[in-house]
Chain A
Amino acid sequence: MVMSGGRDRPQSKGETGPIDPQGDLGLRSADQAPPLIRHLSSDFGLRHTKGVAITRWLVMSLLVILGSVFCALGYWWGAWLYIGAAANGLLAYLMPHWKTALEAESRQRVHELERSRAHVVDDAAARLRRIEQNLHDGAQAQMVAVVMKLGLAKEHLEGADAMNRNANLIRVAELVDAAHRGAQDAISDLRNLAHGIHPPVLDEGLGAALSALAARCDIPVELMVDLSERPSPAIETIAYFCAAELLTNVVKHSAARRVVVEARCGPSLVRVRICDDGVGGASIGGGGGLAGLAERIATVDGKLEVESPPGGPTEVAFELPLHA
């Protein structure tokens, strides 16, 4: 038996024949292994030379697998880091563009709202001024005249004496008659004014109001109403006054012989269409009342369309949301 050089470790009993070449060439025993392996080996209780080779392979494989797993994880995380960084970069690049686009959009919306609000305010102020003017020039003036006539009548009654009683009474009767007529005119003025502010029939719905409008129109109106859902009162009022103004335009400017008025409900909007067989040539930019109408409609995000070639026919349609 030859002892392997430099090895003072006792051979195990019964171990004969050629020395295990592994002892020289290959793997060292657990005692000679690096500390980590030694540690691992001792943990597994594999100190015996016979199990050492297998154990070493197992440990090395485990290390390789673990290393690979760690590497893979590292790559994975690294990949995510790269993806994250790239996404960040992309976002950093795109954000200002999106922000600018969003800002531009919201600025435009704000601008639109400011414009339509200014129009609403102007419109309301103009309406009030018109009402005040109508009152001042109409009923109020009528009533002043009535008071003048009654004042004169009173004066004549007070100044009447036996001599000219009859003559005075005739004059008083004339004055009272004139005052009576003036008061009636004033009442009619007030009625028209009140009606112009809010037609009572509008309380019964847009359909009823349009039918009252059609009945009053000087040109025969064919009315088609299909309103399954009732718009909110503000929308009904706008729709009514727009339709009224459009019908007035037809009577004044179109020389039409008949008009069709159609009011229908869409999923979330009400559409009113007014068509006439008149001379045409109407346009929103034509300086007439259509531009004002379009503005009023735009205040509730509605829209007005006009199709009116020279020679006619004219079709004006507007859409309003069902609820303002």
Chain B
Amino acid sequence: MSSSTVLAHQFDGLEQQRDASTLGMWVFLLTEIMFFGGMFLGYTIYRSAYPNAFAIASQYMDVTLGTVNTVVLITSSLTMALAVLSSRLGQQHSTKMFLLATIGLGLVFLFIKGVEYHEKYVEHVVPGLDFRLTGPEAGHMQMLFCFYFLMTGMHAVHMIIGVGLLTWLIRKNSTGIFSAEYYTPVEIVGLYWHFVDIVWIFLFPLLYLIGQHLRGHA
């Protein structure tokens, strides 16, 4: 693949183009940090305001499924990193395989997330839709479920967008365009995918693990 077909007219060379694209994605991820930051801030405020209610409510979280999902997502980051590597080596077939594996793991994550949402529905702890916990702290407990659905929901939206981007990469890869000279799209989608992974690395302990030592005391 000659460089002429992948170099956009505004750039002087492929290196400048790659630098610009990568910086663009990093700046976008900064935006994303601030976007999620609003929810993390709210979570922090209310967690410190209502520690008891949050600890009790967090026992409704399915730690097993959460742990499985954490493993699934970290593994998908590995396959994503391998996809970047193989695209850089020009190995079209293994790039495709690693991208497919990443998509597959992403879909597994979303499926398990759906199972968890269904559990919450069965347990009547979905704010706004069906929330039946009672007692003096029920309101504050509902607050944690608000954060649970907002934060994991927003994370899931990012996963779905990521799966879309990976599908686009597979199509692009099928033309054999990627090489040591030009693999920027794989790299920047990889950055995005790792970012979404890292968000989960924060969500998992905050929503599932904090307060587990109180299990049985409530």
A-B interaction: no
Interfacial residues, chain A to chain B (CB-CB below 8 A): none
Interfacial residues, chain B to chain A (CB-CB below 8 A): none
